[in-house]
Every structure is written in C-alpha cells, then in structure tokens.
C-alpha cells in the first residue's frame, strides 16, 4: 500500500451474463490494460461467484445483503 489517492468515475451499467441481466455499479478506468474487467460486486449482483479452486463462474443465486 503506497497511500495513493485514485479518483475514478462511477456509473451504472446494464450487464447480461449467461442469461442473467441487471444493473450494476461500475468504475470507469481509462488506463486499464484490459478492455473489460468485471468485478466481484457486479458478478455477485447477478448471483455468480468465482470458485477459487477451479477459477470458474458458479451460479449460486442472489445474495441478500
């Protein structure tokens, strides 16, 4: 941790993934080395988690928070 302050734009996006669709909060990163980066919060909002053993997506349903 180098104590930098990073400002990002935040917006909403409609995300469709494996038949599930919803609006999620996204951070806009202009200098990202990849075209699309889907965060854990966006995946969880649609009811998915990443299996840490296999590295694959698993549908678990919506998580109540």
The mean pLDDT of 52-63, rounded to a whole number, is 86
- Report yes or no on whether pTM surpasses 0.75: no
Question: What's residue 36's pLDDT?
Answer: 65
33 within domain boundaries: yes
Greater confidence (36 vs 23) lies with 23
Domain span including residue 44:
9-59
User: Do residues 40 and 53 lie in contact, with contact meaning Cβ atoms separated by under 8 Å?
Assistant: no
Residue 64 lies in a domain: no
- On average, the pLDDT of the chain sits at 83
Question: For residue range 29-53, what is the model confidence (pLDDT) as tens digits?
Answer: 777 666 666 788 888 888 999 999 9
Total structural domains within the chain? 1
- Enter the tokens of residue 21: 């669709």
């Amino acid at each position: 941790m180098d104590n930098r302050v990073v400002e990002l734009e935040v917006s909403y996006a409609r995300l469709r993934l494996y038949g599930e669709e919803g609006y999620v909060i996204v951070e806009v990163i202009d200098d990202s080395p990849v075209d699309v980066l889907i965060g854990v919060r966006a995946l969880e909002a649609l009811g998915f988690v990443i299996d840490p053993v296999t590295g694959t997506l698993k549908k678990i349903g919506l998580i109540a928070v």
